[in-house]
Amino acid sequence: MLVNAAKEYGLPVEGYRVSTRRGAEVLGVWDGQQFIFIQSDASYNWWNVVKLLWRYGMSPIRTQNLMKKTVGAFLKMYEPEHFPFESLSEKAFELGLTTSTAMTGSQLLTANGINAAFAHDIVQASTRVNYAQNLDQIHGVETMVCMATDGAMNIRGGNWQIFDSMIENSGATLHLNTSVTEIALLADSNKYALKTTAPVLGSDDAQDPAPISTHSAYDAVILAAPLQFTNITFSPPLANPPLTIPYVSLHVTLFTSPHALSSSAFNLPPDSDVPTMILTTTNSNSSNPIPFFSISLLDILSPPPPS
């Protein structure tokens, strides 16, 4: 859907690639005590495959086949004969996805003959970097989506351009830095009125009162945000409000540093190279959990020329 939008708006699409200025991309899976798996893209692809099969048997191939089957069924939901659909649950059942959603990732992998070592070392590292959850905390479809990494791409200059183009081409009126505080049904017209707040222009004081505006009347209102975080009131109250979702708390930190990752922090010999992408998986020491899900070296920056 996003790829088609990028083509429609003439945005330059390019395959995802790492910076060539930092050399080979080295992936490591850290269990809190040691790197249990390391792979470099400087190696021949067939050699990486041979090493995987030697260590994990047929599990990598079985996982790949299961991923193609599961993700293939998922993508069918957006084909013309199935999309748009009135009920996500009914469509998922029709396409056979509910069997996978009814099982955890661990259960799905075990049921399909994928050994515990590959599930722990490789698949769980993928679920943690993508969803910040272990295999016993997410369902089977999510697990398989994590393994579907082929064909990743981005928009040159930033993926935000897709959504910016969508807004521009929709002809809609855009209100930035504006919060909806109330949605009210107008009994006389069966339309909806919205109350919004916006910061006072020219003020840096967060305590300044925000003026309230009323916008009406709308035929329909689409709430494109988790209701539990919006602080929106409804008049009259919703007859069937959605359930509260236990979202994962996740923090992303971006920083620049003149220092490389410390080899001693990862129990490596002095002056050893540390992987440029570090994924994590669980270890047997539950009293000392790993304090991060992943670390990635994004780029190497050159100092600006002297003025």
| Structure tokens belonging to residue 220 | 């329909």
Is 199's pLDDT higher than 90?
A: no
3-state secondary structure of 69: helix
Buried-state track 62-91, b at ≥16 Cβ within 10 A, e below 16 = bbeebbeebeebbebbeeeeeeeeeeeeeb
Find, among 162, 251, 178, 246, the residue nearest to 210 by Cα: 178
**Neighbour count for residue 50 (Cβ, 10 Å):** 12
Find, among 113, 115, 123, 122, the residue nearest to 144 by Cα: 123
3-state secondary structure of 145: helix
pTM of the predicted protein model: 0.81
Of the chain, the percentage scoring pLDDT greater than 70 comes to 91
Q: Which residue has the tokens 């260590």?
A: 55
CB neighbour class for 127 (10 Å; exposed up to 12, middle 13-18, buried from 19): buried
Question: pLDDT tens, 24-78?
Answer: 789 999 999 999 999 987 666 788 888 999 999 999 999 999 999 999 999 999 8
- The answer to whether 154 touches 14, Cβ cutoff 8 Å, is yes
Question: What is the pLDDT at residue 4?
Answer: 86
Question: pLDDT tens, 75-89?
Answer: 999 899 999 999 999
Is 249's pLDDT higher than 90?
A: no
Question: pLDDT tens, 138-163?
Answer: 999 999 999 998 777 889 889 999 99
**Neighbour count for residue 137 (Cβ, 10 Å):** 15
Question: pLDDT tens, 204-248?
Answer: 555 555 667 777 789 999 999 999 999 999 999 999 998 998 888
